[in-house]
Structure 1
Amino acid sequence: MSKKTARPACTVKPRTPRIIPPGMTDERMRLLRLLATKWVNGTVLHYWFFNGPAPQLQAVRDAFTEWKALKIGLEFVEVQNSSEAEVRIGFDQADGSWSYIGRDILGIAATQPTMNFGWDLTDAYGHTTALHEIGHTLGMPHEHQSPFAGIVWDEQKVYDYFTGEPNNWSREQTFSNVLSKIDPSEVEGSNWDPNSVMEYWFPAGLIVQPAQYHDGLEPAGGLSAADKEWVLRFYPALKAAIPSLKPFVSVPLSLVPGGQANFNIVPGETRKYELGTFGTADTVLVLFEEVDGQLRQLAANDDSGTDRNAKIQVKLFKDRKYVARVRLYWAGASGHTGIMLW
């Protein structure tokens, strides 16, 4: 598709606002916002399709495969029932292409899509679109909205372009998806990647600065080197063997912000258990159960921004296999926390 041809663009659904208590340090607030949308590494994301043409479904499957081929710690599994899926994918051609961001999808009703594709995915631009929307589900924002991009817009031309064909957005949608900047606390690093899969294509005249993009910005398409680095930083390949967590044995954790610890649990008896962290820390704690060889989320708790610790109360069954994963946002002055099953 040439630079003279207008291209449809992705929209992002409104973020779930995170309430930050007053008096929080800047560093703690930054970490909470940075990691709020990220999954615990090792999560199995189950995806399900609403009705769609077979070539479009296969294009999305191929995009999931391409992300996974980077050897990230997340898994993607297609399921046949919407009630089993965290990621529910529609093909409403009248609704454009969009996705919710990261863990925000868990707050969407099981009858509703969390992602939609509104145009053909079988050409090069469509393939990049599929990768882009999955990137949102992994927790990636739009690249051009980075506060470090340094883009100066001709705002009226931006409004004129996106409120016209083929997007037909409102001014509010245009501002939200193009002109508004992400809070610096929600972005890691300070570089802008104009070739990111999360970057839009822009025609000539919309960007005033940097001057090299005044004649238009057309990313190469597909995953850039920086995209691959980003996803492997948050979701590195998991170690094959992880330690076991035994009842009434506390395990100290010394994690860097964004770091994670993983534990196998095989109960010796069927009963109600409590699983929790302790110490001055903000964590997200997730418990998975192995079902037919796959891990399915059983329970979760996020204590970030509060004065309490993450805790899960759940009935576990003798000799079944469970996995606990705890990801750290912030660990106070000491940098130490712990976990225990009892």
Structure 2
Amino acid sequence: MAAQGEKDALRYCAQPPRRIPALAPDLSLPRTRAILLNGAKWMNGTQVRYSFLDGADDGVSKAWLTEVHNGFEEWEGVGIGLTFRAEDNPAEAEIRIAFADDGSWSYVGTDCLHIGAGQATMNFGWDPTSPYGKATVRHEIGHSIGFCHEHQNPFAGIVWDEAALYAYMGGPPNNWPRETTFQNIVRKLSTDEVTGSTWDPTSIMEYGFGPGLIIRPEEYRNGIDSPLQLSDTDKKLVREWYPPLTPHMDTLQPFQSAPLDLGSGQQTDYEVVPEKSQKFQFGTFGDADALMVLFEEDGENLRYLAGEDDSGQNRNGHFEVKLLQGRRYVLRVRMYSTWGSGNASVMYW
């Protein structure tokens, strides 16, 4: 995402390196693809909390803070199953936002959960209220919910004038080292990390580039304009990743397995209401890579209690947690892939 300025002085989002899970070398390609494609996405239905490490008391303009709030509201307003809530205490938030003079960037999706509680997971290094700044806000929030840079799409067919590109990005105002340029522009994403098979140059996740940096496609030799709003494809994809949730859910009874008839990336919820207070075991069964998360109902919100991700491992997920009589819990299961007989199920006991 380009910062405001002339075409010859654009500043760009420098996305931190992705956290790639360690996968067993003998995994089949369908399993590997399913895990890489869905691994950084939030469990649909999650309330993602964001907090500011710097605020008005630290000299940050209220207009800047408001524009970030507006960005989260716009993404949620597309009609998705995620909700965003401002949190006063940064230690309680999944996304922690700074305004340091350190460029603009964000970790991708659930990679945020592996960053220390006192550290930023997103930063805005320039005015977020300018036209470019507003777009930067939407771009960085796009990273935080699972989007990567669109110009790194392997289906874009971009051939760079690498000498010109490295020289341009190595100069002011970016002053990027060669590795940063490679990781954020030159490196192509694996096809396993990309949804669909086309490139969207109008995506909010696309950079704007001036002339003389792109060799092919020829129509972009004179540059690519910086997209300033969410594209139709951005909205379509995010609704596919996080479809609106249906209010009904089945009740999971103890010692009774429930089948997981889910495709890759799909998920389901089960209500859990224990009849007595004790420790319970939760587990998946069958040939499946799945993510299980248990939430406790807390007013209108769901509070995370425990979870297990068994993707890429030759075992089933399992965790133990104490539940309290009369409390209401929600078990959410997302499927990465199934193989063998494909008969997967979940149970608690």
| Separation of aligned partners in 2, 1:51 and 1:24 | 44
- Pick one of 91, 103, 111 that aligns with 1:96: 103
Q: CA RMSD in A?
A: 1.3
Deviation, structure 1 residue 303: 0.2
The reply on whether 1:116 has 2:127 as its aligned counterpart is no
Counting only pairs closer than 5 Å after superposition, residues 37-56 of structure 1 correspond to structure 2 as 37-52=40-55, 53=60, 54-56=62-64
How big is each residue's C-alpha offset from its partner over 1:93-129, in whole Å with a ceiling of 9 and x where there is no partner?
x211111111111111101111111001102211111
- Pick one of 238, 249, 272 that aligns with 2:256: 249
The reply on whether 1:153 has 2:156 as its aligned counterpart is no
The reply on whether 1:300 has 2:296 as its aligned counterpart is no
| Separation of aligned partners in 2, 1:310 and 1:209 | 46
Moved more, 208-217 or 262-271: 262-271
Deviation, structure 1 residue 293: 2.2
| Separation of aligned partners in 2, 1:282 and 1:73 | 22
| Separation of aligned partners in 1, 2:280 and 2:175 | 53
Report the counterpart of residue 75 of structure 1 in structure 2: 83
- Pick one of 25, 29, 46 that aligns with 1:26: 29
| Separation of aligned partners in 2, 1:288 and 1:20 | 27
Report if the CA contact (8 A) 2:52-2:98 is conserved. Answer: yes
Structure 1: segments with no counterpart, 5+ residues? none
How big is each residue's C-alpha offset from its partner over 1:253-274, in whole Å with a ceiling of 9 and x where there is no partner?
1111111111121222111111
Report if the CA contact (8 A) 2:158-2:217 is conserved. Answer: yes
| AA at the equivalent of 1:76 | F
Report if the CA contact (8 A) 2:267-2:332 is conserved. Answer: yes
Structure 2: segments with no counterpart, 5+ residues? none
Report if the CA contact (8 A) 2:206-2:227 is conserved. Answer: no
Identity %: 47
Q: For 1:12, what is the secondary structure of its paired residue?
A: coil
Q: For 2:129, what is the secondary structure of its paired residue?
A: coil
Report the counterpart of residue 70 of structure 2 in structure 1: 62
How big is each residue's C-alpha offset from its partner over 1:138-195, in whole Å with a ceiling of 9 and x where there is no partner?
1111000111110010101111111112211111111111101111111121100000
The reply on whether 1:12 has 2:18 as its aligned counterpart is no
In the comparison of the two structures, how many residue pairs are matched? 341
How big is each residue's C-alpha offset from its partner over 1:3-49, in whole Å with a ceiling of 9 and x where there is no partner?
63522110111112311212211111111111111111111111110
Q: For 2:251, what is the secondary structure of its paired residue?
A: coil
| AA at the equivalent of 1:282 | D
| Separation of aligned partners in 1, 2:7 and 2:52 | 33
| AA at the equivalent of 1:18 | P
Report if the CA contact (8 A) 1:196-1:223 is conserved. Answer: yes
Q: For 1:323, what is the secondary structure of its paired residue?
A: strand
Report if the CA contact (8 A) 1:6-1:203 is conserved. Answer: no
